Amino acid sequence: MNNKGFNWFFPIMIVALVLFFVANSMGDSTGKTIDEDGFFREMQAGKIQRVLIDKQAQKADVFLTQAAKTATVKKDDKSNPFSGLMMAPKADYSLKYGDLRLFLEKFDAIRMQNPAIKTSKDYAEGESPLTSFLIQALIWIAILGVFYFLLFRKMGSGGGPGGQIFSIGKSKAKLFDEKERIQVTFKDVAGLEGAKEEVQEVVDFLKNSEKYTKLGGKIPKGVLLVGPPGTGKTLLAKAVAGEAKVPFFSLSGSDFVEMFVGVGASRVRDLFAQAKAKSPAIIFIDEIDAIGRARGKNNFSGGNDERENTLNQLLTEMDGFGTDTNVIVMAATNRADILDKALMRAGRFDRSIYVDLPELHERRQIFDVHLKKIKLDDNVDREFLAKQTPGFSGADIANVCNEAALIAARNNHTSVTKQDFLDAVDRIIGGLEKKNKAIKPSEKRRVAYHEAGHATISWLVEHASPLLKVTIVPRGRSLGAAWYLPEERQLTTTEQMLDEMCATLGGRAAEQVIFNNISTGALSDLESVTKRAQAMVTIYGLSPNIGNISYYDSSGQSEYSFGKPYSEETAKKIDIEIKGIIENQYDRAVQILTENKDKLDALASKLLEKEVIFREDLEEIFGKRAWDPELTEKPVTNTIPDTKEPQEEILIKEKEGDSEIQAPESPTQL
């Protein structure tokens, strides 16, 4: 008996050896004898396979053939239940001979008279029965020893195949303490200033709890990190583990899930028991939505839900009886809307930290971190790279830096240049270039006019995103693509959304104006404008005919309902309104392109000639863009350091602060 529980190996080993001894003793005692006349009679009948002569003991062991053994001996052997445990084959009969010389003469005479008899004779080595018994016992002990190390030890440690049999209810959390340090610190986390401040306070509370408790403060029970994928939630938790001088337990939400009933709840209890034993401690659960989903959803079986039991146990451990220990739970998810309300209340996850996509100055800091290990060219400007990647997450920026290094190595560059970074951004957004893709001249001309239509509308309407680059080289699944630089906004007006929809429909409108027919190449454009128009009508309340009504459900409960939150009559009005918005912007795009058909032709011709055109090429045809976002008001934030940059004069009218930060538009596909 020890702290890991009773070891069953030794009782099993003792029982096995006892059965072995009994089998051998009973096997020796139940052996049958035969006289010489009976032996030679059976020999002449062809039933004896071999005879083993022991000169010292003056006896011989007789072994029957398989056919004779099946007919006679097997029936009698059933009386011995331990016969299957015998290692060595036992003789079927024991023969006591008189004179060995006379016995051998008669044996040879029978063999000479009947050559068909295959009975062989042999002589024993003269080993003692005790030696044979000990050898067999040692073989059994060796087998049991191998069985112990391959099965019991593996199961008990939880490692290897089948290691979960005896430790199924144990927690799988990985412990980081003073013996195993993590190299990631807060210095490695760029941006996320607000989130870092919050988690630093948690770490400081565990290190210097008296500083807070003497003023009557209580330790927070939990910190929830929420945000889009790739924004640095797990990295922030790694930094906490690297900074904290307390034990840090890390695991994923899926580690609680198992096919056996009650395992998840058992692992939760074991996890908190380990953390309490090493208090103060931090528990980090990544992707907590695997077990924290709201209860009572999609449980049509009517039975006991294993995931709900796991969640109930987690709720009890975080805020129940006996939870006065210094254990803080950190969790990360990008689906906070589906988490259970009981998990989100104060006293469990006291703080919810939103980790948003990085802004311009934060992207610059992230580039500084990831560019440390890259050999850069002198012309690489970090400010420029940050401006070229609006809507990129921290993981996306890391991918851009890595992809740029790979492209530079592929082109045999001695350092990573500015063009390598631009190519990396293009490849991540648009896909791999397919220069060898066969395309008809007529289709290529249609693609050129399609992309030229997008570029023309975006240049001539006020609120459309400024153009960066247009290409008719196939990329990914698209035959042509246009890159735009969306403004980083916090608010979006109706006019801005309508202008962006008009620019998106510019490709199909150009086909209508030039060719007087349309193609299937505007699929992605139509999908984009349909979603925007639907959002305007049903979510943002920007349609005068529908009114100031939003059917958006931020709690996420609507995905479990079977009906719509509006009537059939309202649904018809919504459909009519969505169609009207799209058709109005399409007619507007056709009108703009018709009025500027000569400039559209010039742009398409240049695109057919160069295959790739930039902003400078559009300025040659259209002139300077009047409403350049660089000339409008600059964003103001308290976290941007004052670099004393010269203020640019506002040439045109002031614009209101625009909409929420948009992810980079996927290239307009054809």
Query: Known catalytic residue: 451?
Result: yes
Q: What is d(CA 453, CA 508) in angstroms, rounded to the nearest whole number?
A: 8
DSSP state of 550: -
Q: What is d(CA 144, CA 10) in angstroms, rounded to the nearest whole number?
A: 10
Was 229 annotated as part of a binding site? yes
- Is the distance from CB of 400 to CB of 371 less than 8 angstroms? no
Q: What is d(CA 472, CA 453) in angstroms, rounded to the nearest whole number?
A: 13
Q: What is d(CA 450, CA 395) in angstroms, rounded to the nearest whole number?
A: 33
Q: What is d(CA 641, CA 618) in angstroms, rounded to the nearest whole number?
A: 35
List strand residue ranges (DSSP E) for 539-667, in order.
612-614
CB neighbour class for 359 (10 Å; exposed up to 12, middle 13-18, buried from 19)? middle
Phi, psi of 6 (to 5 degrees): -70, 135
Q: What is d(CA 304, CA 460) in angstroms, rounded to the nearest whole number?
A: 61
The residues, any chain, with a CB within 8 Å of residue 374's CB and separated by 6 or more, are: 401, 404, 405, 416
Q: What is d(CA 544, CA 581) in angstroms, rounded to the nearest whole number?
A: 11
Was 234 annotated as part of a binding site? yes
Was 233 annotated as part of a binding site? yes
Q: What is d(CA 175, CA 453) in angstroms, rounded to the nearest whole number?
A: 58
Smallest CA-to-CA distance from 347 within 221, 198, 217, 212 is with 221
Q: What is d(CA 408, CA 422) in angstroms, rounded to the nearest whole number?
A: 11
- Is the distance from CB of 593 to CB of 505 less than 8 angstroms? no
DSSP state of 111: H
Was 525 annotated as part of a binding site? yes
Q: Taking the C-alpha atoms of 436, 440, 445 and 450 in order, what is their torsion angle to the nearest 10 degrees?
A: -70
Was 231 annotated as part of a binding site? yes
Was 230 annotated as part of a binding site? yes
Was 316 annotated as part of a binding site? no
Q: What is d(CA 65, CA 50) in angstroms, rounded to the nearest whole number?
A: 8
Given the residues 451, 488, 577, 665, select the one marked as catalytic.
451
Was 454 annotated as part of a binding site? yes
Q: Annotated binding residues, as ranges? A: 227-234, 450, 454, 525
Q: Annotated binding residues for ATP, as ranges? A: 227-234
List active site positions: 451
